[in-house]
Chains A and B, each alone.
Chain A
Amino acid sequence: MRMVLHFDSRTVTEPVLSRTTLKTGALINILRASVGARRGEILIEVEDEKAKEVEEILKTQGVDVIELVGAVQKDDEKCVHCGACISICPTEALKFNGEKRVIVEAEKCVHCGACTKVCPTEALTLPF
């Protein structure tokens, strides 16, 4: 399970992830993090069995948690299957299928947003 964590000016200075790991024993993989002085956003991956528990502990510490379902969204009305996004994706989540159409492999997407900034027809958007 992937989750986006939003930190406010108070929680951003707390070791919330370490505390969560100690309390739950869950292994937390940080996929992407952007932390500033007053707020932060971290994308984490947690094994599914521990997901609910981790989410609870994070919430009690004042972190805003959004469960991520799905990956980058592609509007097939807009996509012309040029492939400009393919070499930009750090995790190779975008690729051609046998028909030379661009497809998203949802389980590989880390929601970095790199592809959404390069698409010439604005066909790609992040779901949150």
Chain B
Amino acid sequence: MVKSVEEINQKIREGNVRVVTAAEMKEIVAELGPEQAAKEVDVVTTGTFGAMCSSGAFFNFGHSDPPIKMQRVWLNDVEAYTGVAAVDAYLGATQLSETEEGYGGGHVIETLVEGKEVELRATAYGTDCYPRKEIVTEISLDDVNQAVMLNPRNAYQRYNAATNSSNRILRTYMGTLLPNFGNVTFAGTGEISPLNNDPEYRTIGVGTRIFLCGAKGYVIGEGTQHAPPYGTLMVKGNLREMDPEYMKGAYFPGYGATLFVGIGIPIPILDAEMAKFTAVRNSEIETKILDFGVARRGRPVVRKVTYEELISGKVEINGEEVRTSPLSSFYMAERIMNELKRQIEKGEFLLTSPVDRIPREEVFKPMRQREIRVVKSVMVKAFTISPDTGIEDAAKLIIEKGVNHLPVVKDGKLIGIVTSWDVAKAVALKKAGTVSEVMTKNVVVTFPEEPVEIAARKMEKNSISALPVVDSKRNVLGIVTSEDLSRLLAR
């Protein structure tokens, strides 16, 4: 038995369509089987509500008198991109306020959707047709010509979960990660998430009408970084028709601003295959837990995991139970599925057939780089000393060699570090003795193959100015200093 989208729309118009949520569909298929379920159910509603950084809105502000060709524009001190036309701009959800911490583009969008005014400030260079050089005014959604939400990458099918092997707390776009595998965070709504219910992208494609933050929006193509089964969607919708209840400006401490976006997608049950797809369970949806303690592109995979385990609240890592936190709201996703179901049943929401399909195979390529600069290429010779070196001898070495840092080595292994400051302090306090009494024992180190950006971040985080370079056996190979790195990074 095969149904068409038009036949389903006819049922919607006649008021006898059968719509269920993705959560309800699992049970129906389990009970009736896909063939029978496809006969009984016409539409399955799916939903997701999560922090979707790749979100934003296009605005056309209208012309001022005299006119201005905005070179730069800010909404509540959050800068929008103006390289579009004279009074058009794109405001990204992750753009930060230049004056207020914890506030960004996502908050501006939410404020506007709430019906409130924001301050518009723009500067320009002035031309014959656009002589004005600056403007400050207030605007609301009623005042602008167009306000279109356009999100390059939303509704991730599934997403890598995050944990942290390092010994310090990490503030990430996956939330706060506690040290030593203290917790796991994950994103996406699993078995009720839109793309997981149409994994071949048969019904979700270019032109699919969706529920976007309370408005009727559209899929306009595959999202950026679309790489099945980690598929994504590019979506648009009219900001003026949106409901602030289904979006929320957000700020991840230590990471930055973003926007919670609510998306619901109706899936027409055209045949038994679609019924089977929409019966997918969390236990069948797999993802990976990545270690954010390693700040590299190729973050190590700690283990594979299913959404069932992630949603249960606990996962096992290295034989220990670790608690999990979602970053998507299952409560809101459920509300969106039910609201979309209600709208379809009431005849307020008709389905569309895609006018083109989105790719079923795509690879997520890394950036092509000129070079990855590693510590090995910038390290210099380290002058090492033994722990029983006298403080005076250390002082002499510092002066003679013109260095500020002396790694302390015992039996070939790094055991400490002495800086010119430590030595000066010891001399000023008239401390005689060996460097072992004044050295720092907990030495932060780097490795020859570590990228220089990571070494620089280590120094910045620990407020230090040099890192001994060691091999896996803690033999000292050299040293990098902040001076060397800043010279290199400034190039």
**Measuring CB to CB, which residues of chain A are less than 8 angstroms from any residue of chain B?**
78, 80-88, 92, 96, 99-101, 117-118, 120-122
What mask results when residues 315 to 344 of chain B are scored 1 for a CB within 8 Å of chain A, else 0?
Answer: 000000011111111111010000000000
List residues of chain B with CB within 8 A of the CB of A85. Answer: 325
- Whether B253 pairs with A80 at a CB distance below 8 angstroms is no
* Interface-central residue, B102, B249, B329, B332, by most chain A CB under 10 Å: B329
Measured in the bound complex, the distance between the Cα atoms of B311 and A83 in whole Å is 11
Task: Flag whether B96 is at the interface (Cβ < 8 A).
Answer: no
Q: Is B50 an interface position by the 8 A CB rule?
A: yes
Q: Tell me the smallest distance from the CB of A96 to a CB of chain B, in Å.
A: 8
Could you say which of A80, A87, A88, A122 contacts B329, with CB atoms under 8 Å apart? Answer: A80
| Shortest CB distance A123–B (Å) | 10
Chain B contact residue count (CB 8 A cutoff): 32
Are B185 and A87 in contact (CB-based, < 8 A)?
Answer: yes
> Can you show 25 pairs from A to B with CB atoms below 8 A apart?
A80-B332, A81-B332, A83-B327, A83-B329, A83-B330, A84-B176, A84-B325, A85-B325, A86-B323, A86-B325, A87-B182, A87-B322, A87-B324, A87-B325, A88-B178, A96-B313, A100-B329, A100-B330, A101-B331, A117-B253, A118-B175, A118-B176, A120-B252, A120-B260, A121-B251
Q: Chain B residues near A121 (CB, 8 Å)?
A: 248-251, 260
Docked complex Cα distance between A22 and B49 (Å):
55
7 further contact pairs, Cβ within 8 A, besides A81-B329, A81-B330: A83-B326, A83-B327, A84-B176, A84-B325, A88-B176, A100-B331, A121-B260
The answer for the CA separation of A87 and B51 in the assembled complex, in Å, is: 18
Chain A residue numbers with a CB within 8 Å of B176 are 84, 88, 117-118
Whether the Cβ atoms of A84 and B327 lie closer than 8 Å is yes
State whether A120 touches B250 (Cβ < 8 A). yes
With both beta carbons as reference points, the residue of chain A lying nearest to B110 in the complex is identified as A121
Alpha-carbon gap, A93 to B185, bound state (A): 18
Binding site for A on B (CB under 8 A): 49-51, 102, 175-176, 178, 182-185, 248-253, 258, 260, 313, 322-332, 334
A87 to B311 alpha-carbon distance, docked (Å): 12
Query: What distance in Å separates the Cβ of B296 from its nearest Cβ neighbour in chain A?
Result: 24
Q: Binding site of A, secondary structure by majority: helix, strand, loop or mixed?
A: loop
Q: How far is the CB of B154 from chain A (nearest CB, A)?
A: 16
Is the CB–CB distance between A80 and B49 below 8 Å? yes
Chain A residues contacting B334 (CB-CB under 8 Å) are 100
Identity of the chain A residue whose Cβ is nearest the Cβ of B330 in the assembled complex: A100
> Smallest CB–CB gap between B313 and chain A, Å?
8
Smallest Cβ-Cβ distance to B175: which chain A residue? A84
Shortest Cβ-Cβ A-B pairs, 8 listed = A87-B183, A87-B325, A120-B250, A81-B331, A87-B323, A100-B331, A100-B330, A118-B176
B94 to chain A, nearest CB (A): 12
Q: What residues of chain B lie closer than 8 Å to A84, measured between beta carbons?
A: 175-176, 185, 325-327
CB of B326 within 8 A of CB of A82, answer yes
Task: Given A82-B326, A118-B176, check contact A99 B331 (CB 8 Å).
Answer: yes
Contacts of A86 in B (CB 8 A): 313, 323-326
The answer to whether B184 touches A87, judged by C-beta atoms less than 8 angstroms apart, is yes
- Give Cα A122–Cα B334 distance, bound, in whole angstroms: 23
* A122 CA / B101 CA spacing, docked (Å): 12
A120: contacting residue among B178, B258, B313, CB under 8 A: B258
How distant is the Cα of A8 from the Cα of B330 in the complex, in angstroms? 46
- Which B residues are CB-close (under 8 A) to A96? 313, 330
Decide: A88 and B325 in contact? CB cutoff 8 A.
yes
State the CA gap A15–B51 with chains docked (Å): 48
User: How many angstroms between the C-alpha atoms of A99 and B329 in the bound complex?
Assistant: 11
Contact A83 B253 (CB under 8 A): no
